[in-house]
């Protein structure tokens, strides 16, 4: 059975699921990237106000993504990391 043979409701749900999983994966990647960059900036600090503000901005962005993910609760709605690996 080919994808075109499935009912429209199945195709719509499949499309919505794929887009939600893609958004979740990009958010996780962005979160990890920001945390790694922030940790790297902390290793070699420069004693300037701008550097400290930039580093704080990086961590606040990571915190914002973390709060967003906690509010959306993607993992509670059937999107598990095991499913993301199969994409």
Residues contacting residue 52 through CB under 8 Å, at least 6 positions apart: 45
- CA dist 79 and 81 (Å) reads 7
pLDDT tens-digit profile of 19-71?
Answer: 888 888 999 999 999 999 999 988 887 788 888 899 999 999 999 999 988 88
Residue 84 has pLDDT above 80, yes or no: no
CB 31 within 8 A of CB 66: yes
pTM: 0.69
| pLDDT score for 15 | 83
Domain that holds residue 19: 3-85
Number of structural domains found in the chain? 1
């Amino acid at each position: 059975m080919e994808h075109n043979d499935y009912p429209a409701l199945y195709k719509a749900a499949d499309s919505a699921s794929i887009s939600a999983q893609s958004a979740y994966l990009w958010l996780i990647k962005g979160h990890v990237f920001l945390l790694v960059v922030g940790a790297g900036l902390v290793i070699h600090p420069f004693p300037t106000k701008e550097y400290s503000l930039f580093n704080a901005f990086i961590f606040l962005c990571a915190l914002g993504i973390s709060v967003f993910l906690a509010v959306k609760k993607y993992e509670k709605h059937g999107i598990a990391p095991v499913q993301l690996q199969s994409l």
